Amino acid sequence: MMTIYKYLLKPQSVQTVEMPKGAQILTAQFQNKTICLWALLNLEGFATKRTIEICGTGLPLDFHPRVFISTVQDPVNGLVWHIFERP
Protein backbone atom coordinates (compact mmCIF):
# COMPACT_ATOMS: atom_id res chain seq x y z
CA MET A 1 0.00 0.00 0.00
CA MET A 2 1.30 3.46 -0.91
CA THR A 3 1.45 6.24 1.66
CA ILE A 4 3.09 9.63 2.16
CA TYR A 5 5.70 9.61 4.91
CA LYS A 6 7.56 12.50 6.57
CA TYR A 7 11.28 12.54 7.39
CA LEU A 8 12.86 15.14 9.68
CA LEU A 9 16.13 16.49 8.32
CA LYS A 10 19.05 17.43 10.53
CA PRO A 11 20.54 20.93 10.21
CA GLN A 12 23.67 19.69 8.42
CA SER A 13 24.92 19.93 4.85
CA VAL A 14 24.91 16.22 3.92
CA GLN A 15 22.98 13.40 5.55
CA THR A 16 21.66 9.93 4.84
CA VAL A 17 17.94 9.18 5.02
CA GLU A 18 16.72 5.59 5.00
CA MET A 19 13.49 5.00 3.10
CA PRO A 20 11.92 2.11 1.19
CA LYS A 21 13.33 1.38 -2.27
CA GLY A 22 11.43 3.20 -5.01
CA ALA A 23 10.24 6.02 -2.73
CA GLN A 24 9.39 9.19 -4.65
CA ILE A 25 10.54 12.34 -2.88
CA LEU A 26 7.76 14.93 -3.18
CA THR A 27 8.99 18.09 -1.45
CA ALA A 28 10.81 19.60 1.51
CA GLN A 29 9.45 22.40 3.71
CA PHE A 30 9.83 23.87 7.16
CA GLN A 31 7.43 22.53 9.77
CA ASN A 32 7.75 23.71 13.38
CA LYS A 33 11.26 25.14 12.79
CA THR A 34 12.53 21.84 11.27
CA ILE A 35 13.16 21.04 7.63
CA CYS A 36 11.01 18.04 6.72
CA LEU A 37 11.03 15.89 3.60
CA TRP A 38 7.90 14.14 2.33
CA ALA A 39 7.99 11.03 0.13
CA LEU A 40 5.42 8.78 -1.52
CA LEU A 41 6.36 5.20 -0.72
CA ASN A 42 5.41 1.62 -0.04
CA LEU A 43 6.30 0.86 3.60
CA GLU A 44 6.77 -2.82 2.71
CA GLY A 45 9.70 -2.08 0.39
CA PHE A 46 13.29 -2.88 1.31
CA ALA A 47 15.10 0.02 2.97
CA THR A 48 17.68 1.96 0.98
CA LYS A 49 19.86 4.89 1.94
CA ARG A 50 19.39 8.20 0.14
CA THR A 51 21.87 11.07 0.39
CA ILE A 52 20.24 14.45 1.02
CA GLU A 53 22.14 17.73 0.77
CA ILE A 54 21.16 21.12 2.21
CA CYS A 55 22.90 24.12 0.63
CA GLY A 56 22.63 27.72 1.70
CA THR A 57 22.23 30.55 -0.79
CA GLY A 58 25.63 31.98 -1.73
CA LEU A 59 27.63 29.08 -0.31
CA PRO A 60 30.06 27.20 -2.60
CA LEU A 61 29.09 23.76 -3.94
CA ASP A 62 31.36 20.89 -4.97
CA PHE A 63 30.91 19.12 -8.30
CA HIS A 64 28.67 16.23 -7.19
CA PRO A 65 25.64 15.58 -9.41
CA ARG A 66 22.38 16.56 -7.69
CA VAL A 67 18.64 16.38 -8.17
CA PHE A 68 16.74 19.43 -6.94
CA ILE A 69 13.97 18.76 -4.38
CA SER A 70 12.91 22.15 -3.03
CA THR A 71 13.91 25.59 -1.77
CA VAL A 72 12.82 26.44 1.78
CA GLN A 73 12.86 29.65 3.83
CA ASP A 74 13.66 29.50 7.52
CA PRO A 75 10.73 31.18 9.34
CA VAL A 76 12.94 32.20 12.28
CA ASN A 77 15.96 33.90 10.72
CA GLY A 78 14.95 34.28 7.05
CA LEU A 79 17.79 32.17 5.64
CA VAL A 80 17.08 30.32 2.39
CA TRP A 81 18.12 26.68 1.96
CA HIS A 82 18.12 24.54 -1.18
CA ILE A 83 17.47 20.81 -0.77
CA PHE A 84 18.96 18.26 -3.20
CA GLU A 85 19.37 14.52 -3.48
CA ARG A 86 22.68 13.10 -4.60
CA PRO A 87 21.92 10.15 -6.91
pTM of the model: 0.91
Question: 34 vs 11, 45, 60, 74, 75, CA distance in Å?
Answer: 8, 26, 23, 9, 10
Give the residue extent of every domain in the chain.
Answer: 2-86
Beta bridge partners of 73: 80
Residue 12 makes CB contacts below 8 A (sequence gap 6+) with 54
pLDDT bucket at 8, cuts 50 / 70 / 90 = very high
Q: How many CB atoms lie within 10 A of CB 14?
A: 14
User: How far is residue 59's CA from residue 18's CA, in Å, rounded to a whole number?
Assistant: 26
21-54 pLDDT, tens digit per residue, is: 999 999 999 999 999 999 999 988 899 999 999 9
